[in-house]
Amino acid sequence: MNFHKRIVIIEDDAELRGCYRLIIGSVDRYHFVNAYENCEEAFPHLHKDKPDIILMDINLFSGISGIEGVKYIKSKYPHIEVVMISVHDDAEMVFEALRAGASGYITKSSNYLELIQSLDELVKGGAPMSSKIARLVISNFHSNPNSPLSEREKDVLKLISEGKSYTQIADQLFISKETSKTHIKNIYSKLEVNSKSEAIEMAKSKKYI
């Protein structure tokens, strides 16, 4: 584990900026470099700040959002690890932040110990997350057990979402083209749709596939 990981804060609440500064300053293995009020203020300084880790508030009052901020940072400095700090645990916001490149997501309720533990977790190769966030992320993998679709129909629908044609599905599942068509017709009637795109949209939104 390297010494003196350099930390930069982007957070619009002045009081919280101060808190984070104190907490990080109190531990040898982390070096507080700078704190900024928003992304626009921070970005021109990143080149000389050379942070290893950025703690970023996701709901910034002024300028671009935390999510856009992560995208920018990861595109210019892919090695920087960004941990999002948020009051919300809204699923879509969490997933967007992670897709944008965040390495962790913790809620603002985190106390002194938890913040340091999150940084330690990150440095040892993990991904710091609050309990609820972890559950959200894992639940994202779970499929809906109340799917009206049979296993075979799910197989077929998955292949449709991979852009496969009836013929390709037939070849891959070792069935005839007519059988794929029958499955698809039954999928449409069960989901009450009548096209590939509607079926995919419906199935994904209800987590059937």
Partner DNA sequence: AAGTTATCCCCCATATTGGGGGAAATTTTG
Partner DNA sequence: CAAAATTTCCCCCAATATGGGGGATAACTT
Residues that bind a copy of itself (CB under 8 A): 74-75, 78, 95, 98-99, 101-104, 121, 124-132, 134-135, 137-139, 141-143, 145, 160-165, 168, 195-197, 199-201, 204
User: How many other β-carbons are positioned within 10 Å of the β-carbon of residue 191?
Assistant: 21
Distance CA 167, CA 144 (A): 28
Amino acid present at 138: I
Q: Is 151 in the site for DNA (CB under 7 A)?
A: yes
Distance CA 176, CA 182 (A): 10
28 alpha carbon, distance to own chain's centre: 30
- The count of chain residues that interact with DNA, using the rule CB under 7 A, is 24
Find the part of the chain contacting DNA (CB under 7 A) among 87-95, 99-107, 113-121, 177-185. Answer: 177-185
User: Quick one: which of 111, 140, 143, 176 contacts DNA (CB under 7 A)?
Assistant: 176
Query: In the block, which residue shows the tokens 């690890």?
Result: 81
Closest separation in Å from C-beta 183 to a copy of itself: 15
> Is the CB of 11 or the CB of 121 nearer to a copy of itself?
121
Q: What is the largest CA-CA distance in the chain?
A: 69
Query: In the block, which residue shows the tokens 């799910």?
Result: 154
Residues that bind DNA (CB under 7 A): 150-153, 165-168, 170, 173, 175-176, 178-179, 181-186, 188, 194-196
